[in-house]
Amino acid sequence: MSDEQAGTAAQEQAAPVFRLQKMYVKDLSFENPNAPDVFLEKGGEPKVDVNLGLKHRKLEAEDHYEVTLAITVKVTASTSGKSLFLIEVEHAGVFLLKNIPAEHIPPVLSVECPALLFPFTRQLISQASVDGGFIPFLMEPVNFLALYENSRRQQAAEGAKQ
């Protein structure tokens, strides 16, 4: 029986672990530079520009990584070209990745981790726009797997050119 328990304990120790340990806002900025004039403007659909960045780094704590989504949303009036609002957010999480093969770490950090963070980041941005006096700004879902695969293809193409 003790051999069976020892085998089970060894399997549990070797089992892959992927866990969000902590989520936090590193930076959040909302700018409404043309208020209150922009609230009085009438006209078509505003122009929306969204930039998304992803950073990740290994932390000093064993098997822990920080993944940060950096999103900038700039919305301008289509008629006057005036800035309605600008939101910049860096939303991060600390993830425990234990017993995961090294070749799987990059896709986990670039796909799975931001996919877990994104709904919360989206909510932060939506709430910031509401608190700024605008309707909720709802970002479209992001396909992090497609972004990761495109990035790998670009890197491979650049490597082939050199």
Reading the chain (162 residues) residue by residue, the pLDDT tens digits are 455 555 555 555 689 999 999 999 999 999 999 999 888 887 778 999 999 999 999 999 999 999 999 999 999 998 888 999 999 999 999 999 999 999 999 999 999 999 999 999 999 999 999 999 999 999 999 999 999 999 889 888 877 776
Whether this model's pTM surpasses 0.75: yes
CB atoms within 10 A of CB 46: 19
Give, in order, the Cα–Cα distances in Å from 45 to each of 60, 108, 136, 140: 47, 37, 14, 17
Domain 17-161 has CATH 3.10.420.10: yes
Domain positions in the chain are: 17-161
Which residues are CB-contacts of 103 (< 8 A; sequence separation ≥ 6)? none
Angle 63-66-136 (CA atoms, 0-180°, nearest 5)? 145
